């Protein structure tokens, strides 16, 4: 997921996306623990996407306070 895509989303869309990514991360970890995950790097990619979403949410919070 690109940063530009995230910046174009509304606050509600970002919160929904964050929930989806957290659910996906849970499923990836579960599949990894059971040995069914083919590419473990997808876990890292999902974590980075979560961090990107959290960053955009935090930027907007700080911008609103200023």
What is 18-62 written as a DSSP string? HHHHHHHHHHHHHHHHTT--S-THHHHHHHHHHHHHHHHHHHHHH
CA distances to 14, 18, 31, 44 from 40, rounded to whole Å, are 25, 20, 10, 8
Cα–Cα distance between 23 and 33 in angstroms, integer? 15
How does pLDDT run along the chain (66 residues), one tens digit per residue?
788 899 999 999 999 999 999 999 999 999 999 999 999 999 999 999 999 999 999 999 999 988
Q: In this predicted structure, what is the pLDDT of residue 24? A: 98
Determine if the pTM surpasses 0.95: no
**Residue ranges covered by each domain of the chain:** 3-65
Cα–Cα distance between 16 and 23 in angstroms, integer? 11
Architecture per CATH, 3-65 = Orthogonal Bundle (1.10)
Q: In this predicted structure, what is the pLDDT of residue 3? A: 85
């Amino acid at each position: 997921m690109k940063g530009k895509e995230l910046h174009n989303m509304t606050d509600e869309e970002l919160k929904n996306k964050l929930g989806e990514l957290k659910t996906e991360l849970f499923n990836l970890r579960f599949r990894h623990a059971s040995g069914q995950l083919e590419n473990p790097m997808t876990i890292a990619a999902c974590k980075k996407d979560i961090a990107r979403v959290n960053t955009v949410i935090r930027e907007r919070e700080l911008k609103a306070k200023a």
